[in-house]
Amino acid sequence: MKIDNLFNIQDKVAIVTGGSRGIGEMIAAGFLANGAKVYISARKAPALVDKAKELSDKYNQECIPISCDLSSMNGIEEFTNEIQNKEKGIDFLINNAGAAWGEPLESFSEGGWDKVMDLNVKSLFFLTQKFKNLLLNNASVEDPSRVINIGSIDGLNVPSMETYSYGASKAAVHHLTRVLAAKLVKENILVNAIAPGPYPSAMLGSAVNHDYSEIAKRNPRKRVGTPEDMAGLAIFLCSRAGAYTVGETITSDGGIVKTASHNLS
């Protein structure tokens, strides 16, 4: 019952896609700070390499960058092959890489639809498929392997912006989480999702010119999310503390989804 045992992720091997910034970086940092070895991926190699070195130095723990484009099957296969050449098994797969697209309904483009669906839904499914054997190699009844899919409150609520493919993709992530959880729990791989609300990130930042003050004011908690909020939830789901939690989509949004009707006055 000690904290050190309940939330222990020491010496685990984790993969965090889109791990060089935003929510992916928050989760990677939380894992590294608590003794896990972490692989992070992103498309832009120089920024990814710099971030991996920064995190390795900060936490005195191994953070390994692998540059790839996970929106294509070729990119997914290159990434999974590279990990398979380095590791016999992995403990945690964090499917965080994602994209957003905003355009008016009347002119919403096929490119904007496909880009979001390919990265947010298709890549998540095929990464889980291709990493299944490595997850199985480290999985047991006592200590299951974990998959966390990063969804969004935009997959639960109706978004305020015209991001049609994004909200639809995140709703798909939440349901796919339940479907994969039902399949993989029998093999000691636990699948859950996190649905973040407003967190500082390149995606949200570009929509609000990186000024989060208005968003913070409107939030029930009067702030945006912090790295501790996100890392703490991911560590819970990946540790002994979360080993009986299966197929859930847990919001981390300061109360937006569950208290919205009470915040109108």
Question: Coil, helix or strand for 128?
Answer: helix
- Over the stretch 19-33, which tens digit does the pLDDT of each residue have? 999 999 999 999 999
Compute the mean pLDDT over every residue in the chain, rounded to the nearest whole number: 95
Q: Say which residues have a Cβ less than 8 Å from residue 213's Cβ, sequence separation at least 6.
A: none
User: What is the predicted pLDDT for the residue at 247?
Assistant: 98
Nearest to 173 by CA among 156, 190, 187: 156
- Over the stretch 138-168, which tens digit does the pLDDT of each residue have? 999 999 999 999 999 999 999 989 999 999 9
User: What is the predicted pLDDT for the residue at 264?
Assistant: 46
Question: Is 90 exceeded by the pLDDT of residue 1?
Answer: yes
Alpha carbon distance, N-terminus to C-terminus of the chain: 42
Query: Over 31-69, what HEC string results?
Result: HHHCCCEEEEEECCHHHHHHHHHHHHHHHCCCEEEEECC
Structure tokens at 179: 């479907």
Sheet holding 37-42, edge to edge: 63-67, 37-42, 13-17, 92-95, 145-150, 189-196, 249-252
Q: Regarding beta strands 37-42 and 13-17, do their DSSP bridges make them parallel or antiparallel, or are they unpaired?
A: parallel
Grade residue 265 by pLDDT with cuts at 50, 70 and 90: very low
Structure tokens at 75: 């990119």
- Over the stretch 98-122, which tens digit does the pLDDT of each residue have? 999 999 999 999 999 999 999 999 9
Instruction: Give the active site residues.
Output: 166
Grade residue 206 by pLDDT with cuts at 50, 70 and 90: low
| Contact (CB, 8 A) for 70 and 40 | no
CA distance 75 to 71: 7
In CATH, the number for domain 3-258 is 3.40.50.720
pTM for this model (two decimals)? 0.95
**CA 139: distance to chain centroid?**
20
